[in-house]
Amino acid sequence: MPFGYTGKILRVDLSKKSIEIEEPDEKIYRTYIGGGALACYYLLKEQEPGVDALGPDNTLIFANSAVSATPGPGFSRYTVSAKSPQTGGFGETEAGGWFGPELKFAGFDAVIVKGKADTPVYIWIHDGQAEIKDAGHLWGKELGEVHDMICRELGDKRIRIAQTGPAGENLVRYACVINELRHANGRTGMGAVMGSKNLRAIAVRGRKKMKLADKEKVKELVQWHNATYLETQKVRQDLGTCAGVIPLNLSGILPTKNFRKGEFSQAAAISGEAMKEQILIKRGHCYACPVRCKRVVEVKAPYSVDPRFGGPEYETLGALGSLCEVGDIRAIAKGNELCQRFGLDTIATGNTIAFAMDCFESGFLTTEDTNGLEITFGNADVMLKLIEMIAKREGFGDILAEGVMRAAQKIGKGAEKLAMHVKGQEIPLHEPRGKTGLALAYALSPTGADHVECPHDPLFASTPNKNVDEAATVGIYEPVSNLDLGPEKVKFFHYLQNTWSLYNILGLCMFVGWPLGQFKLEHINEYVRAVTGWNTSLWELFKTNERSQNLFRIFNCREGLTKKDDTLPDRFFEGLENGALKGTGINREEFEQAIETYYGMMGWDPDTGIPTPAKLHELGLGWAISEIH
């Protein structure tokens, strides 16, 4: 009898209009647990190499974990995965909210979608059953309208819906998947994959409750967390992730003007404090979580912003704000709402608009190229106009809808040097010149630049430090400088990547897990044991994550990504133009040596970055060796 998971995976073939239910062996769940690891296992096993990311042969997977949707705070996250239309490699993105738990309550741990429907459809999953339903009447509509129409059509306001939007329908490469209008699987273009399949939404409703192996132990851990979480979460509950704006600006690492600067003169105007004082009306949350870090905002004038779509996170404040040098928090809130309505990743959208502004200022673009728009830094109205043009692929927006890498190739004239991406995915709003562990995270993340690949350096840079004390659990005993790139920093990244990547596999929010949350690693292991009944250890859980990292690498190697893709834009090897770290850049030689050191620590070939057969056999992945060669 499975504890914590349903033991069932739903398979939907849109081309054949068929639905099947798979019941994997328990060994599959324990070996891969869930999230991106489980998804990548199926992608490697069942998908041919070299498929078109926006073609019918790309497999789209929605995956929970063996412990998600249980009563623990933060265990609400689920993964959407496929080959990425941005990078051409492994695509995976997580979101919290309510959809993931509801999918398990409806009877399924994951949904595997293949093929392409002849006409627009949505999938309706309820209490162990599933149907493919017509979505012709939904196509072309914004997310809010579609959400309401599906709920009315199915006669239940409590249905949870994950959907792509007009951006995904139009195959914008960084279109995302959004559940409940405000929780986004933002990165790697999974909304575009949905759109390419004529799949507008997945709606779920269920009444099944997860059986727990040790209900009393789960209750004990949950009660302990909820009695103590404010020790680490008071500021986050008060200001959300937006609390980071002012501290990062003071440190000279608030990404500004397309990553040319580290300080924004109007940072205070777009901060979490400004949001709280001017437009915040509510603090939202995810399933079973008391942290309430989500922002809900409302604006009446000069822009009308509907609170149904939540509010900006830190990444959005940076992407649509400082990166574009827009200092109006009301305009940023409107930009966030537009991205939610159309289904756009705010990080990629802000990056792409900042790239266009940089190109315009540098003379690579003129008004003849941009439909008459003066795309200048600081122009909030142009920023908002471009969001709509991108989502609809109108005029110049059609070029920007391809993302900065492909847009730069189309513009030419040297615009490539202004395109801030790794492997085709735009850079998140954290400055690696002041956090070198993040430089490694961006370069080495299997999905392209990712700011949650590893805890950030400042959390471990000083002593005495309770995070450094706890890091001894995983073999890190001394603080490491924010700017160091030697072997100790590589070890720091390697070990702590294991930690946060494990959270992704478990479906655990990083604001609940150490070092940002109350649950230490020992608590997490206890929780997994109590939920599943497995006699797990931290060693086993870390091996599960190591297995996942190698699976992701195999997928990318199979799809043609190589060592040369593990790098950063040239701009990061140059000095910041202003701020507390003015003139600071990453040393290219040290960075390249750090990459090779990481390969060695991972058991990968130092010349190619390909996992060695010995390492794959050690992880039980001998079956995947043939996928590389």
List of residues 6+ apart from 42 with CB closer than 8 A: 59, 61, 112
Q: Please determine, for residue 294, whether its predicted confidence score (pLDDT) is greater than 80.
A: yes
pLDDT range class, residue 465, cuts 50, 70, 90:
confident
Report the pLDDT averaged over residues 314-343. 98
377 part of a folded domain: yes
Q: Please determine, for residue 79, whether its predicted confidence score (pLDDT) is greater than 80.
A: yes
The neighbouring-strand residues paired with 114 are 13
DSSP assignment of 502-561 equals: HHHHHT--TTTBTTTSSB-HHHHHHHHHHHH-----HHHHHHHHHHHHHHHHHHHHHTT-
Which residue, among 143, 134, 216, has the nearest Cα to 175 in the 3D structure? 143
Dist CA 261 CA 3 (whole Å): 51
Three-class DSSP category at 494:
helix
Q: Please determine, for residue 1, whether its predicted confidence score (pLDDT) is greater than 80.
A: no
Mean pLDDT over all residues of the chain? Answer: 97
Which residue, among 11, 48, 9, has the nearest Cα to 28 in the 3D structure? 9
Residue 573: the pLDDT is 98
Report the pLDDT averaged over residues 63-87. 97
Q: Please determine, for residue 629, whether its predicted confidence score (pLDDT) is greater than 80.
A: no
Residue 469: the pLDDT is 87
Q: Please determine, for residue 463, whether its predicted confidence score (pLDDT) is greater than 80.
A: no
In which element (H, E) is residue 91 found?
A: strand 90-95
Q: Final residue of a domain: which of 205, 228, 263?
A: 205
Q: Please determine, for residue 430, whether its predicted confidence score (pLDDT) is greater than 80.
A: yes
Instruction: Assess whether 172 and 315 both reside in one domain.
Output: no
Instruction: Assess whether 458 and 486 both reside in one domain.
Output: yes
List of residues 6+ apart from 469 with CB closer than 8 A: none
Instruction: Assess whether 272 and 416 both reside in one domain.
Output: yes
Residue 462: the pLDDT is 79
Contact, 383 vs 326, CB < 8 A? yes
Q: Final residue of a domain: which of 205, 220, 249?
A: 205
Each residue's pLDDT tens digit, 357-375: 999 999 999 999 999 999 9
Instruction: Assess whether 601 and 463 both reside in one domain.
Output: yes
pLDDT range class, residue 444, cuts 50, 70, 90:
very high
Report the pLDDT averaged over residues 317-342. 98
Each residue's pLDDT tens digit, 391-418: 999 999 999 999 999 999 999 999 999 9
Instruction: Assess whether 196 and 253 both reside in one domain.
Output: no
Q: Final residue of a domain: which of 205, 226, 252?
A: 205
Q: Please determine, for residue 461, whether its predicted confidence score (pLDDT) is greater than 90.
A: no
Report the pLDDT averaged over residues 556-578. 98
Peptide bond preceding 613: is omega within 30 degrees of 0, i.e. cis?
A: no
Exposure pattern of 323-344 as b/e (b: 16+ CB <10 Å)? bbbbbbbbbbbbbbbbbbbbbb
Instruction: Assess whether 286 and 398 both reside in one domain.
Output: yes
Each residue's pLDDT tens digit, 575-615: 999 999 999 999 999 999 999 999 999 999 999 999 999 99
**Residue 111 φ then ψ, to 5°:** -130, 125
Tokens of 164: 């792509």
C-alpha atoms less than 13 angstroms from C-alpha of 575 in its C-beta half-sphere: 8
- Which domain does 391 fall in, by range? 240-426
Three-class DSSP category at 271:
coil
235 part of a folded domain: no
22 part of a folded domain: yes
159: domain CATH number?
Answer: 3.60.9.10
Each residue's pLDDT tens digit, 157-209: 999 999 999 999 999 999 999 999 999 999 999 999 999 999 999 999 999 98
Instruction: Assess whether 148 and 247 both reside in one domain.
Output: no
542 part of a folded domain: yes
217 part of a folded domain: no
The number of distinct structural domains making up the chain is 3
Which residue, among 127, 126, 51, has the nearest Cα to 90 in the 3D structure? 51
Instruction: Assess whether 386 and 484 both reside in one domain.
Output: no
Instruction: Assess whether 72 and 191 both reside in one domain.
Output: yes
545: domain CATH number?
Answer: 1.10.599.10
Dist CA 58 CA 527 (whole Å): 35
4 part of a folded domain: no
Give me the helix-helix angle, 588-602 and 436-444, nearest 10°: 60
Instruction: Assess whether 289 and 191 both reside in one domain.
Output: no
Instruction: Assess whether 135 and 193 both reside in one domain.
Output: yes
- Bridge-based pairing state of the strands 425-426 and 421-422: antiparallel
305: domain CATH number?
Answer: 1.10.569.10
* pTM score, whole prediction: 0.98
pLDDT range class, residue 232, cuts 50, 70, 90:
confident
Contact, 242 vs 317, CB < 8 A? yes
343 part of a folded domain: yes
Residue 154: the pLDDT is 98
Residue 537: the pLDDT is 97
Dist CA 50 CA 235 (whole Å): 46
Dist CA 507 CA 204 (whole Å): 18
Q: Please determine, for residue 49, whether its predicted confidence score (pLDDT) is greater than 90.
A: yes
Report the pLDDT averaged over residues 21-34. 98
Give me the helix-helix angle, 521-532 and 538-558, nearest 10°: 90
Instruction: Assess whether 69 and 183 both reside in one domain.
Output: yes
601 part of a folded domain: yes
Which residue, among 478, 458, 474, 482, has the nearest Cα to 546 in the 3D structure? 474
